[in-house]
Amino acid sequence: MEGHVQFAFTDEQLQFRDIAAKFMADKSPSVEVRRLMETERGFDDAVWNSLSNELGVTALIIPEVYGGQGFGFVELGIVMEEAGRALLCAPYFSTCVMGAGAIINAGTEAQKQALLPEIAAGTRFVSLALTDGAAPVRVWADGTLAGEKTLVVDGCLADTIVVAAEQDGATRLFVVDAAASGLERRHLATIDPTRKLAALSFDATPAEPMAGDAGALSDVLDGAAVALANEMMGGAQRLLDSAVEYSQIRMQFGRAIGSFQAIKHKCADLLLDVELAKSAAYQAAWARSEDEPDAPALASLAKAAASDTYMQMAAACVQLHGGIGFTWDHDAHLWYKRAKSSEVLLGDANHHRELMLQRWSET
């Protein structure tokens, strides 16, 4: 990206943010988050239907020709940020970001026509299986898959699974129906019960090849990193707001603790960190929407900044709340756990810093 670029949300995007924020706040209060994280499915069907039918965001980035709305990553980033702020429990990231992104970027025309309209309508869940388990997934001579995948977001829920598998020394993508023979799925117990992960095993499992290769997969992961970075910034902002609010009402020595210099300066430093990381996330979303040449590097920059900042903000929020911040009854731990799981999802900050430098050196 050459020269100075000034990014600002349009009036329509700001209005969309207000609508999304109100929806998330109404549908995902912390009491509902606590209820859903204890369930196996991890989300509420009525809320999902509202996401699709009222808010219309399941169709957000899907091209209009396939029943979608054809918006870009700026609008997607708005939805993800507000979802992260409310800690929305729903298979939105897995289906409408990673799953839809994989099919848009790597699917055959037949796969796009069959799957994208159902994703747009909110009637099909899709997961992307990337991380190999003990036995890497490979393609047998008859075209079936064998091996294991782990840390698959909403893998037990998905109707369709996009699987990265090794074939002839290269990584290729395949579509697997959840009802296919030889596929077994099990829930994984993780630090973050608000985002369900699964382990999958394949044993001579039928699979349909996709058109895209490792290059298409890299593009899908960049888009997912941008979306996740925006979600993380929503969570970080929520924690900052909570910490500042508490510092204004918690009294010590006859004064609000926020009046003490140490607390005041700490909150100011955290605000700077959150705003800087948020700017990186916004820039990455804009660059991807505009198909800028350095969009891949900016995606890694955004994810690295978000990983560092969200975890820093989560830890600080617990500390600034004092003794109550460590309790189960307080909500701080819910966002802390999401921050920790998101920090390593799609690669941690060190991975993305290295990738960012590599990409910028190639441009």
Query: Which pLDDT tens digit goes with each residue over 32-48?
Result: 999 999 999 999 999 99
| Residues contacting 62, CB < 8 A, separation 6+ | 68, 69, 70, 100, 104, 116, 119, 120
Q: Kindly state the average pLDDT of the residues 312-331.
A: 86
Torsion of CA 285, 286, 292, 295, to 10 degrees: -20
What domains can you pick out in the chain, each with its CATH number?
Answer: 11-121 (1.10.540.10), 126-212 (2.40.110.10), 215-362 (1.20.140.10)
> Which amino acid, residue 49?
N
Taking 90 as the threshold, does the pLDDT of residue 97 lie above it?
Answer: yes
- At 1 the pLDDT is 45
| pLDDT exceeds cutoff 90 at 232 | yes
Tokens of residue 73, six digits: 């990553």
For residue 258, is pLDDT > 80? no
CB-based burial, 268-299: b 16+ in 10 Å, e otherwise: eebeebbeebbebbbbbbbbbbeebebbbbbb
Among candidate residues 331, 302, 306, 303, the one with its CA nearest the CA of residue 317: 331
User: pLDDT tens digit string along 170-197?
Assistant: 999 999 999 999 999 999 999 999 999 9
Structure tokens at 193: 């019960």
CB 315 within 8 A of CB 283: no
The percent of residues above 70 in pLDDT, for the chain, comes to 96
Look at residue 69 and tell me whether its pLDDT is greater than 90: yes
pTM: 0.94
Return d(Cα 202, Cα 152) in angstroms, integer. Answer: 13
- Is the pLDDT confidence value at 259 over 90? no
Q: Both tokens of residue 62?
A: 């899907």
How would you classify residue 70: left for phi > 0, otherwise alpha for psi between -120 and 50, otherwise beta? left
Q: Report the DSSP pairing between strands 160-167 and 126-129.
A: parallel
- Predicted pLDDT of residue 257: 66
Percentage of the chain surpassing pLDDT 90? 81
Query: pLDDT band at residue 361, thresholds of 50, 70 and 90?
Result: confident
Give whole-number Cα distances, 254 to 189, 220, 246, 313, 323, in Å: 45, 54, 15, 27, 19
pLDDT at residue 322 tops 90:
no
- Cβ–Cβ < 8 Å for 66, 116: yes
Give CA 74 to chain center in angstroms.
14
Of 264, 269, 248, 357, nearest to 312 (Cα)? 269
pLDDT-derived band of residue 134, with 50, 70 and 90 as boundaries?
confident
Residue 283 is predicted with a pLDDT of 97
326 Cβ partners below 8 Å, 6+ apart?
Answer: 318, 333
Integer Cα distance of 246 and 256 in angstroms: 9
